């Protein structure tokens, strides 16, 4: 009896001392769930007054660069009261593996950075957001007085767990924890990351139904990447919201850090300057430091300054700072690591490389040439290039035209005055390369340049997303089918050139649209009837859905007929007011909603042929009135993977982890001998 009691007592002692250890005065760390609310004071900033960026639970590769910013926020939510004085006295300390705390300056051997101060407006409610009038005046946001310090270009040299603590006020403190994991060595010589922007599994299923033949309901073959070794799931939300935009989702892939809407490879502080936000090192910058001979390629059907490509070459709080993004491609940013200077750059966005919109009027075609680039501006010159020099191809102002306008309706590009040389001439769709032309030329050039050190290529099908935003389903399908054909040709090229066994291929999306198909539509029946009941009955579901009339008789991977009578009854879960008739817009690209007479809300576009204005089915808005298009959705996205390292991608994981998995596959995790 006595022995048993003793045992219980000693166990209790062990438990209480263990508990005491975790809550003792030396550790103020507590993992906090994100708070409820649509209007956070600042993303990833759960403490009432202190913010630390990178935020809590961030992860780093040993030796990868990051900026550290600490902000203290003084405010009173009662806006009738004056703003309190800023917290100018605060102490920032760091420790490793629960060891002793030391001053951040001492730990990183840096001078104390200057104290910065500014104010920002915290819009903390829907009424403050809308400026609702209450008691005769608009509801005002909360004024926040900020004091801050930023430490630039830090790194944790070794694996371990790290905590950063800020102590402020009489005795408040806030602590975040970072992990620097140690991972085994893997090796994929080449990595090709295909990003199908805004594509969900519903779109993959629909593209298969549009492009692939079937007999007795069984497909003759699947899409090219559906035979890949592994399939996984990626969680796409951002640090501070359920749904993401392409900037912060691409940044998560590129840097291993989730961020906020519109941010490119930085965490978002509260200051105005879009270029002073704490940066995190991108996979392309890490390649340049650790495997400098590896070749890097960026390919997209969008303008090159658009979010997805920009996340791999720039750092800015605002994705719309296109001029500076263009400059950062070859010149990088101050107080940071070397610029990426990709070996291959094939995009649109000519207006930011030359002419009045380019930074300080710089002619970047000349600047790229000076850095050793061969510059091409049309499909013919791209396809004819067989050199070993770095390659810059810019084929249009804005985004490249979509597959429809490059292949079927080239006349729609007459008069666009979008020539990449900024001469004011047209950039005809037939003169612009497609994703396949650009990707295969990128592979040829990257192989020549990377040699035994291999290459990293990001290739984006950008307009799947752009066409889903405006419910232009035929054009969205064609963009995805173009990606499918591109991947098929990529695999053939890799096999022919002896690179297949050494190449990790990833096919994923950066976020979803809530796209799905619930049956089929008889378009002739729909347009031949006026009453709504008859129109609704043009939709066939379950047993009446049958099959749509797409056939690929010439075997090029694309259907020969894009306007059959029976098409997919397709849509997304949200949108502004518009009409839907599932027609194909032949004379122009679809624009389903336009600004209404009140200039505040969006109404159906009378010119929208795809919706058959007032004759198609009416879709009622379920979005805030400022949204003129459908918006992204939160479903996880697919990731198909093939080749060395592809086992890493077969689970459910978060978007930031893609960076670490790619870095692991490319053997980029360990500091090189040159790094101290």
Q: Is 421 annotated as a binding residue?
A: no
Beta carbon nearer to Zn ion, 442 or 462? 462
Q: Whole-number minimum distance, CB 382 to Zn ion, in Å?
A: 27
Nearest residue to the partner Zn ion, using Cβ:
465
Residues 184/531, Cβ–Cβ less than 8 Å: no
Beta carbon nearer to Zn ion, 198 or 474? 198
232 token code pair: 């996984």
Size of the site for Zn ion (CB under 5 A): 2
Q: Is 220 annotated as a binding residue?
A: no
Beta carbon nearer to Zn ion, 198 or 592? 198
Q: Is 308 annotated as a binding residue?
A: yes
Q: Whole-number minimum distance, CB 228 to Zn ion, in Å?
A: 25
Instruction: Choose one: 165-173, 210-218, 291-299, 459-467; the region binding Zn ion (CB under 5 A).
Output: 459-467
Residue 246 among the catalytic residues:
yes
Residues 485/544, Cβ–Cβ less than 8 Å: no
Q: Using CB under 5 A as the criterion, what x/- string covers residues 409-448 for binding Zn ion?
A: ----------------------------------------
Tracing tokens 């996205």 back to the chain, one arrives at: 637
For Zn ion, the binding residues in 229-268 under the rule CB under 5 A are none
Residues 311/282, Cβ–Cβ less than 8 Å: yes
Q: Using CB under 5 A as the criterion, what x/- string covers residues 142-181 for binding Zn ion?
A: ----------------------------------------
Q: Whole-number minimum distance, CB 638 to Zn ion, in Å?
A: 17
Q: Whole-number minimum distance, CB 465 to Zn ion, in Å?
A: 4
Q: Is 257 annotated as a binding residue?
A: no
Q: Is 285 annotated as a binding residue?
A: no
Closest CA to 236 of 657, 668, 672, 627: 657
631 token code pair: 């918006």
Q: How far is CA 306 from CA 312, 438, 447, in A?
A: 11, 17, 26
Q: Using CB under 5 A as the criterion, what x/- string covers residues 180-209 for binding Zn ion?
A: ------------------x-----------
608 forms part of the interface with Zn ion (CB under 5 A): no
Angle (CA) 93 54 97, round 5°: 50
Q: What is the C-alpha separation between 236 and 234, in angstroms, rounded?
A: 6
Beta carbon nearer to Zn ion, 390 or 467? 467
The residues, ordered by sequence, that sit 6+ positions from 516 with a Cβ below 8 Å of its Cβ are 202, 570, 571, 572
**Which run of H or E residues covers position 252?**
helix 246-255
465 forms part of the interface with Zn ion (CB under 5 A): yes
306 forms part of the interface with Zn ion (CB under 5 A): no
Closest CA to 393 of 301, 486, 284: 301
Beta carbon nearer to Zn ion, 465 or 484? 465
The residues, ordered by sequence, that sit 6+ positions from 1 with a Cβ below 8 Å of its Cβ are none
Omega before 54 cis (within 30°)? yes
For Zn ion, the binding residues in 22-51 under the rule CB under 5 A are none
SS3 call for 192 = strand
The residues, ordered by sequence, that sit 6+ positions from 587 with a Cβ below 8 Å of its Cβ are 409, 412, 609
**Which run of H or E residues covers position 384?**
helix 379-384
Active-site residue among 148, 224, 238, 246? Answer: 246
Interface residue list for Zn ion (CB under 5 A): 198, 465
Which residues does the annotation place in the binding site for Mg(2+)?
197, 306, 308, 460
The set of catalytic residues is 246
Which residues does the annotation place in the binding site for Zn(2+)?
197, 465, 469, 510-511, 632
């Amino acid at each position: 009896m006595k022995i048993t009691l003793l045992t219980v007592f000693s166990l209790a002692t062990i438990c209480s001392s263990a508990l005491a250890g975790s809550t003792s005065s030396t550790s103020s760390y507590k993992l906090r769930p994100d708070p409820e609310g649509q209007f956070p004071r600042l993303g990833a900033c759960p403490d009432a007054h202190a913010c630390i960026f990178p935020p809590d639970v961030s992860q780093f590769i040993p030796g990868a660069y990051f900026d550290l910013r600490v902000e203290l926020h003084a405010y009173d939510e009662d806006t009738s009261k004056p703003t309190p004085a800023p917290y100018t006295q605060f102490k920032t300390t760091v420790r490793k593996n629960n060891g002793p705390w030391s001053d951040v300056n001492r730990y990183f051997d840096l001078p104390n950075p200057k104290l910065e101060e500014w104010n920002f407006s915290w819009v903390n409610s829907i009424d403050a957001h809308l400026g609702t009038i209450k008691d005769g005046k608009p509801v005002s946001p909360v004024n926040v007085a900020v004091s801050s310090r930023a430490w630039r270009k830090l790194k944790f040299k070794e694996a371990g767990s790290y905590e950063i603590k800020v102590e402020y006020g009489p005795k408040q403190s806030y602590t975040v924890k970072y992990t620097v994991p140690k991972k085994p060595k893997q090796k994929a010589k080449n990595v090709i990351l295909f990003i199908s922007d805004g594509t969900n599994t519903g779109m993959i299923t629909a593209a298969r139904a549009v492009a692939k033949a079937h007999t007795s309901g069984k497909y003759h073959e699947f899409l090219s990447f559906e035979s890949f070794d592994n399939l996984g799931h990626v969680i796409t939300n951002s640090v501070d919201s359920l749904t993401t935009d392409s900037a912060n989702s691409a940044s998560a892939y590129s840097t291993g850090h989730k961020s906020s809407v519109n941010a490119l490879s930085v965490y978002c502080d509260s200051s105005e300057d879009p270029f002073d936000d704490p940066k995190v090192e991108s996979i392309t910058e890490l390649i340049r430091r650790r495997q400098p001979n590896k070749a890097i390629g960026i390919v997209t059907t969008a303008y090159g300054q658009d979010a997805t490509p920009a996340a791999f070459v720039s750092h800015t709080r605002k994705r719309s700072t296109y001029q500076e993004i263009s400059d950062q491609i070859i010149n990088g940013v101050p107080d940071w690591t070397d610029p990426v200077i990709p070996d291959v750059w094939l995009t649109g966005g000519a207006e930011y490389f030359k002419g009045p919109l380019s930074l300080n009027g710089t002619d970047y075609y000349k600047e790229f040439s000076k850095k050793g680039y061969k510059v091409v501006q049309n499909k013919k010159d791209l396809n004819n290039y067989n050199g070993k020099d770095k390659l810059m191809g810019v084929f249009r102002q804005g985004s490249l035209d979509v597959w429809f306008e490059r292949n079927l309706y080239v006349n729609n590009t007459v008069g666009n005055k979008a020539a990449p040389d900024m001469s004011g001439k047209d950039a005809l769709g037939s003169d612009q390369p497609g994703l396949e032309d650009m990707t295969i030329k990128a592979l040829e050039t990257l192989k020549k340049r990377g040699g035994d050190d291999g290459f990293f290529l990001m290739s984006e099908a950008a307009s799947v997303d752009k066409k889903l935003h405006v419910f232009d389903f035929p054009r969205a399908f064609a963009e995805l089918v173009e990606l499918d054909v591109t991947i098929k040709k990529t695999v053939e090229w890799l096999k022919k050139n002896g690179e297949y066994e050494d190449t990790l291929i990833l096919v994923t999306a950066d976020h979803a649209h809530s796209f799905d198909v619930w049956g089929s539509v008889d378009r002739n029946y729909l347009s031949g009837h006026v009453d709504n009941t008859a129109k609704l009955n043009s939709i066939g579901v379950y047993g009446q859905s049958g099959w749509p009339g797409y056939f690929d008789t010439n075997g090029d991977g694309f259907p020969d007929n894009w306007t059959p009578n029976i098409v997919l009854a397709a849509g997304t879960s949200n949108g502004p007011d518009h009409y839907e008739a599932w027609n194909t817009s032949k004379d122009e690209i679809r624009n389903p909603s336009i600004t209404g007479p009140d200039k505040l809300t969006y109404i159906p576009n009378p010119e929208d042929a795809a919706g058959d204005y007032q004759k198609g089915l009416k879709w009622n808005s379920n979005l805030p009135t400022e949204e003129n298009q459908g918006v992204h959705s939160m479903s996880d996205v697919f990731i198909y993977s093939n080749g060395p390292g592809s086992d890493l991608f077969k689970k459910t994981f978060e978007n930031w982890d893609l960076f670490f998995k790619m870095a692991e596959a490319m053997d980029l995790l360990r500091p090189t001998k040159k790094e101290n």
